[in-house]
Amino acid sequence: MNKNIYSKDEYLNLDVKKDEVVNIYHFIYNSSCQVNINMIGKNAKVYYYLGALNRDDNNCHIQINHLQSQTESYITTHGVNACDNKLLFDVTSVVPKTSFKCICNQDNMIVNVTDGVSKIMPKLLIENYDTSSAHSAYIGGFKDEALFYLASRGISYEVAFEMLIQGFLLNEADKDEKIVQNLLSKVGDVKWIK
């Protein structure tokens, strides 16, 4: 059974049952979040995507618990830290001894627009060696080449930066959803720094 979940809630607690495939699109604007996903059924899969646009100090805590064997989690967290503030991604995948043949992957990225302080803490707490896992963490800015390319096409710096942010935050999402449109409306509120 496949299902898509779109959320802008600060708290998200979900159990993924046997043979379920769940796609979660979680979009937050200038808030912290607490996410707990329990893989409670065999052959359960979750694809979790977080798009966070940040202006103040915020913390995002995400934990995936592989409580059954043959479960898979694919976590993507993308954040834009728009001001001189703090953004934390604390992402934890847990595989206990009793869960076999699990897959848990994390892809974590934060783009700093100004001199904000960002931190990514990717954690893989794995007690079973029959697990495939990987994580990545990137904090930085957009490549100058991307901005230069858009500028060479006659696009202003502000519009180019806005386009890059939209693509970065929404690369997996259905742009027709109201929640996504709400987040997009906030992108224009960011004060761009050259």
Q: Model confidence over 1-20: pLDDT tens digits?
A: 788 888 888 999 999 999 99
Q: What is the pTM of this model?
A: 0.87
> What confidence score (pLDDT) does residue 69 get?
97
Q: Name the amino acid, one letter, at 187.
A: V
> What confidence score (pLDDT) does residue 75 get?
97
Q: Name the amino acid, one letter, at 94.
A: V
Q: Is the pLDDT of residue 64 over 50?
A: yes
Q: Model confidence over 97-147: pLDDT tens digits?
A: 999 999 999 999 999 988 888 999 999 999 998 999 999 999 998 888 888
How many alpha carbons lie under 13 Å from residue 89 in its C-beta half-sphere? 31
For residue 5, the cross-strand partners are 24
For residue 16, the cross-strand partners are 39
User: Minimal CA–CA distance to 30: which of 116, 106, 135, 93?
Assistant: 116
Q: Model confidence over 20-53: pLDDT tens digits?
A: 999 999 988 889 999 999 999 999 999 999 999 8
